[in-house]
Structure 1
Amino acid sequence: MRQHISRRSSLLPWKWFAAAAAGGIPVGLVWWLLAPGGLNLITRNPALADGTHPEVWLPRDLTLAGLCVFAGCLVAVFLPDKGGRDAQAAFLLSLAGGVGGAVIAWQAGVLAGQLWGGPADTSVSASVAFSLRSLSVLLLWPAATATSVFVLGLTKLLRSGPRGAGTPAAEGRAPAA
């Protein structure tokens, strides 16, 4: 007898890791485009165009934080919601990919700042250059994914209604009296 081996099911969870990690590149580029100290498309305030003002550093970190939360929620929405081993592996690998994606986003944004940003004198502080001061922002992507999966699962459970031992589960029909 020939044993049929399915490659699709064994490769499926790794797709979630790769997709979440690869998502870091556009997130990093959008971070540089939107954040103060980068291209600054949100405020377009010339005073916030470079990193010499300490007022720029917090909004720059918060911009990446918001993008990481959005990316984490987006990953959670596309995760398969069926139970089983593949869904659990996809969830765990998407969390690991989220950590990788956040690190890639950080480095892609810093690289974009070095390539397309103006020269920065970092002798006063390294934060003058386009950078991330709060590394804990990188944990928001997987945290948002985990929280969103929990909320989506809870919402699905609450919508389906209670299915206890005394409740009939026969396709919405009332039991005969």
Structure 2
Amino acid sequence: MTQRIRRRFSGLQWAWFAVATAAGLPIGLLWWLLAPGGLNLITRDPALGTGSNPEVWLPRDLTLAGLFVFAGCLLAVFITDNARQSRQEDLVLALAGGLAGAVLAWQVGTFAAQFWGAPADTSVNASVAFSLRSLPVLLLWPAATAVGTFAISLLTLLKKGPEGTAGPVAGDAAPGA
């Protein structure tokens, strides 16, 4: 007779998903506020203020990419908190929340541009309107979370040693050698 083991997700684990998803709201607004073609608070250059200038399109996507990498690294720091035992379910839910937050940020940014921005004539090119030209940018948030979690976990493991206590690490002499 085989027994099935069911794991229940605790409320804290679902909080990783909810917080990462909800963080998409302010990130989307920040994207519109900071990016060229949006409110353009970074450069404040009038030439970069409208999407009709093709030189705006790449910096607009890169602004969102930078916000996603920052959010992913920050989420990785919180997931790998040393005060509690990290589990794989936390990481999976945080990655899913990061992806959902990225999609939400993209939609909030484009909605903010439609709501508060000037109307754009998209008959020449759809990228004239405040939009995201490179959809793979949406994967940067979960990717930064995964890489950050790996790096922090690896550094923590190297610091503690192979037995989980402060012991010799790579490059140290073995005891009794």
> TM-score, structure 1 length as denominator?
0.84
Q: What is the aligned-residue identity percentage?
A: 68
In the alignment, what sits opposite 1:11? Answer: 11
Deviation at 1:67, TM superposition (A): 0.2
Deviation at 1:58, TM superposition (A): 0.3
In the alignment, what sits opposite 2:42? Answer: 42
CA deviation string 1:12-63 (max 9, x = no partner): 2111000000000000000000000001011110000000011000000000
1:74 aligns with 2:74: yes
1:93 aligns with 2:104: no
Aligned residues, how many?
A: 158
Q: How many Å separate the matches in 2 of 1:13 and 1:137? A: 26
Q: Which runs of 5+ in 2 are unaligned?
A: 1-7, 169-174
Please, what is the CA RMSD of the aligned residues?
A: 2.0
Letter in 1 for 2:119: P
The list of structure 1 runs, each at least 4 consecutive aligned residues, that deviate by more than 3 angstroms after superposition, is 80-84
Deviation at 1:136, TM superposition (A): 0.2
Q: How many Å separate the matches in 2 of 1:146 and 1:96? A: 11
SS in 1 for 2:52: coil
1:129 aligns with 2:126: no
Deviation at 1:90, TM superposition (A): 1.1
In the alignment, what sits opposite 1:21? Answer: 21
In the alignment, what sits opposite 2:119? Answer: 119
Q: Which runs of 5+ in 1 are unaligned?
A: 1-7, 169-174
> TM-score, structure 2 length as denominator?
0.84
In the alignment, what sits opposite 1:172? Answer: none
